[in-house]
A and B are shown apart, each in its own frame.
Chain A
Amino acid sequence: MSSLPLLGAPDKKKPKLTVYTIEECGSCHLKTKHGFKEGDFVHKREGQCHSCKGNLMITMIYAEAVKVS
């Protein structure tokens, strides 16, 4: 009843967030994005790149709002 907004409507809707892990190849800088799995951390070495055998490393882990289409 109370806490009625004076101007406009309050932002009540929270976007649903999904967490992604971004891997990057040290040589060809190819980026791959997949869902976060437990044990991932930033700067973790993830073996070899599929296309050039360079070293893969996790460069980012972030949450992104899922777009509802």
Chain B
Amino acid sequence: MVFPLGLFPSDNPILGNPLVSIAIFYGPLALLIIYGQRIQAWMILNDVSRSVGKLKLMKEKGRKEAVEFVTGGSNAKVDEFAPRIDQFLEYFTIMPVDMDPSGVVGKIEHIMTTRDDRMKAEIRKLVPDADPVRASVIENLIEAASALNFIYKVVRHFYLIGKKTSSMFILAQLQMIMPMVLLEADALTGAIDAFKKAQPLGDGIGPMVVGRLMLDDEKKEVARETVYSQTELKGRKVYLLTAKGPAGNVGQPGNGIQKMVEELDIKPNAIIMIDAALKLEGEKTGEIAEGIGAAIGGIGVDRFKIEEVASRHGIPLYAIVIKQSIVDAISVMRKEVAEAGDKTREVMERIIEEKTKEGDKIIIVGVGNSLGVAQ
């Protein structure tokens, strides 16, 4: 028998026993082979449960901030408002059936509009004297809090299922996506701070660039919470469209453009869209990129409508995007993004000069949330 590594002196009566040294050396190995997976499962469970705890804190913060904002910090009103807000957090939206996709965009739009109307009506009932900015902040806060609530509940569901069935694989899957989930939840928590103080979001760069050009002209409402104005730029007739600030709106640029082109008979030679876009990790915040197509996020209704109008009338769509992370896009605007505003305008002017000629009509759309950005 060989003493492993010669660790134990052979003159010791116990440790010198070859069986004992074999047990000491190979015991843990056997333990790891037999129970290794369980130890790993236990570690994963620990890790996931810590993340679930973090999500719970975030969710509670979201709810607390919403309640505090609505009550204006007075404790007397908490009992009255908290149950109503809890009810908001559980609101759900059932998406239309898409087995027969023809016409599904119209249905989605209808459902989203109904949801929006209902939310706004409820908020008006809750705080009848709120000005538009405050009402939009409440709406945004509730939206963020209910997203956090939803994330927490779904993650908790899989965590409990994994625990109940002692399935390491459910837990491992949860652990794998957890960093992404936490990132999203972090972004929402950051958004709450910006919402509360009505500070411009990273996503507000589109309304900021376009809003600056609209300052001296008359603004007309062309769709819900969406305004447009007309001005002159480099000898072109320019129509500027964006969400109505400084309240936190995204407006309806799809309906706005549709109405301008088809009802107000503005036949543009080009549409330029300016929006924030998600950067890939490693790309610089505030980087500007140009492209072709309808630069607008969301559920897809606005993009669909803009593409429809553009293709029906043969209008080229140009896009300028300002890159930022998901966290930056819904938290207070970063310095790099704010400073990209001037450069974005230069890019826009260059596109106007290169792609259109004097006397042309152009629609320029500032896409994004107009919180804290007036025009």
Question: A residues near B, CB below 8 A?
Answer: 1-3, 17, 19, 22, 36, 38, 40-44, 59-64
Contact = CB atoms under 8 A, between A and B. Distances in A.
A22 to B, nearest CB: 8
A61 B373 CA distance: 9
Interface in B198-247: 198-200, 204, 208, 211-212, 215, 245-246
A59 to B, nearest CB: 8
Contacts of A44: 246, 374
Categorize the interface residue count of chain B: 20 to 34
A52 to B, nearest CB: 19
B199 A61 contact: yes
Interface stretch (B43-51, B64-72, B106-114, B249-257): B43-51
B249 to A, nearest CB: 13
B334 A63 contact: yes
Given A42-B200, A44-B246, 7 more contacts: A2-B43, A36-B199, A41-B372, A42-B211, A59-B212, A60-B339, A61-B333
A21 to B, nearest CB: 9
Nearest to B133: A41
Contacts of B46: 1-2
B200 A3 contact: no
B197 A42 contact: no
Interface string B145-174: 000000000000000000000000000000
Q: Among A19, A38, A43, A60, find the residue whose CB has the most chain B CB atoms closer than 10 A.
A: A43
Given A36-B197, A41-B246, A43-B373, A63 B335 contact: yes
A42 B47 contact: no
Nearest 5 interchain pairs by C-beta: A62-B338, A41-B246, A63-B332, A43-B374, A60-B338
27 contacts: A1-B46, A17-B332, A19-B199, A38-B197, A41-B198, A41-B200, A41-B245, A41-B372, A41-B374, A42-B211, A42-B245, A42-B373, A43-B215, A43-B245, A43-B373, A59-B212, A60-B338, A60-B341, A61-B199, A61-B200, A61-B332, A61-B372, A62-B337, A62-B339, A63-B199, A63-B332, A64-B335
